[in-house]
Amino acid sequence: MARAFEVRRQRGFVTVAILCFIALYAPMVTLVAYSFNAGSSLALWEGFSLRWYGAAWENEAVQEATIRSVVVAVSASVLATAIATMAALGTTRVPHYRGLTAVYALINQPLMVPEIVTGVALLVVFAIVKEATGYHGLFYLIAAHTAFCIPFAYLPIRARLQGMDSRLEAAAADLYASPWAAFRHVTLPLMFPGIIAGAMLAFVISLDDVVITEFVKSAGQDTLPTYMLGQLRRVVTPEINAISTVLLAISVAIVSIFFLVTRKRT
């Protein structure tokens, strides 16, 4: 009897898998290890120390950039998720019509366009707005990150809606529930894991964005990634490793929370 095809049984699969994991995680392990280096060198180990974490914690520029990054990321993720939720409902809970595929493609187009092109386009538009209004605040960063994060939030929400049984909503309507009551008591709870996933993905994308932020930000509006980029151009110390390790820990925590939330709700 012929054995079913299994990728794991193919010759060399384990070796390729190990090499892939090494390529993915060896740089991260090195980064985390050298964030605890007592010396100033990035390549020479001089003993274990929390010196650079303390230096980053007491650095006022890091504090300001971190607060700004969190404000922008939270604002952008909330706005992008709200817009993406409406877009997902508008492309999955309507009868199919000519042009629906084009609408879907337009929503996801920012994923295909090079980020630098998006950054330049936003720079031009915001320059016109700044000239007309005289406003140079943080709104432009939030708007730019929101626009960029919408497709990232849209994909998991749409996937969740497509995987839902539409007969449940039809049953609610048969029981005389209004469209809003059916949405609030049936659709929204079922799609909530997708909304959480979209919000978390949008938050992480916004938090570590560099290209669009570099084009859109005004003077004195550095986020944490752009601050780190500026420091790397001047002098490289393990303080950058410490900041990167904290960002990595935050990302891992967000992913872990997402899996815990979705596991309880599925």
Cβ distance 160 to 191 under 8 Å?
yes
Above 90 in pLDDT, residue 81?
yes
Helix, strand, coil distribution of the chain in percent, nearest 5:
75, 0, 20
Burial class (CB in 10 A: 0-12, 13-18, 19+), 246: middle
Note the pTM of the prediction, 2 decimals: 0.81
Report the 3 state secondary structure along 99-153. CHHHHHHHHHHHHHCCHHHHHHHHHHHHHHHHHHHCCCCCHHHHHHHHHHHHHHH
Could you tell me which CATH class the domain 59-265 is placed in? mainly alpha
**Number of C-beta neighbours around residue 37 at 10 A:** 22
DSSP 41-93: -SSS---B--HHHHHHHH-HHHHHHHHHHHHHHHHHHHHHHHHHHHHHHHHHS
Distances (CA, A) of 91 to 95, 134, 148, 153, 154: 9, 38, 19, 14, 10
Condensed to tens digits (0 to 9), the pLDDT of residues 113-123 reads 888 888 899 98
Q: Which two tokens stand for residue 196?
A: 């959480």
Per-residue pLDDT at 4: 66
CA 182 vs. chain centroid, Å, equals 30
Q: Domain locations in the chain?
A: 59-265
pLDDT band at 265 (very low <50, low <70, confident <90, very high): low
Beta bridge partners of 37: 48
Largest CA distance in the chain: 76
Residue 140 burial (10 A CB sphere; 0-12, 13-18, 19+): buried
Mean pLDDT within 74-84: 94
Q: What is the pLDDT of residue 146?
A: 93
| The pair of three-digit structure tokens given for residue 82, joined into one six-digit string | 């709200």
- Residue in the block written with tokens 């560099």: 210
Q: What single-letter amino acid sits at 58?
A: E
Q: Give the model's pLDDT for residue 74.
A: 93
More confident residue, 214 or 251: 214
pLDDT over 70 (residue 202): yes
Say how far apart CA 117 and CA 120 lie, in whole Å: 5
**For 156, phi and psi rounded to 5 degrees?**
-65, -30
pLDDT tens per residue across span 85-121: 998 888 887 777 787 778 888 888 888 888 888 889 9
pLDDT at position 6 over 90: no
What residues contact 183, with CB distance under 8 A and at least 6 apart? none
